[in-house]
Structure 1
Amino acid sequence: MEGFDDQGVFFSDNFADDNHSAIQVNLQAIKRRFKEFLRQFHEGNFNYKYRDALKRQYNLGQYWLEVNIEDLASFDENLADKLYKQPSEHIPVFEEAAKEVADEVTAPRPEGEGAVTSSAT
């Protein structure tokens, strides 16, 4: 009957959930800005460079997009700085934003084509 007197050591991190949810809220705000960039960035004569490129690439069956970091910086310098300094955190968020915008700009689709989805978390 040894060990019954030992209460053990327990740990409760009451702040971890708040920090995690704050990070999630921040990443959602960043994703929203990436989506705004992809939808709204234009050069000169209101040629929507990335929105049109997403649609064109999707229609060709090529699921990639080349983005100039200088374009992002001219749209939102802080956002470009985050992407440049922390690519492992922000590139997946940017990719998710691009998939969602591609889904928006290619709808409605011909019969038999589904939405662009991602299994990334």
Structure 2
Amino acid sequence: MKNYANPSFADRNKNAAEAKKKLLEKFKAKPALDDPQRAAKRAERVAAAKAREARRIERERVKAEAEARKLAEQAEAEAAALVAEKAAADALVAEAAAKKAERDQRYAARKARKR
């Protein structure tokens, strides 16, 4: 019975040689570069990469559209605010003109009474 808790040098050497032999067999067993399975996997990876790129482009397009929509809404809101501000300013000017006309009318009536 072998002592696995304390292997001898020969056991360790034998195990190392077996491990090297298994690695070499594993390396030799790799398929060739022109293997159909390998070509199929490569084609699958290329297709997945293209699909991933297409999804990325679609995400960027959607993001750009959303940004453009947001900017358009912002510009529309600013334009509406400017129109409202101009209308308020025009109303103030009209009110001031009306007050001036009323004041001028009162002044003219006072002058007419004095004559």
State the TM-score, normalized to the length of structure 1: 0.28
State the TM-score, normalized to the length of structure 2: 0.29
Q: Higher Cα Rg: structure 1 or 2? A: 2
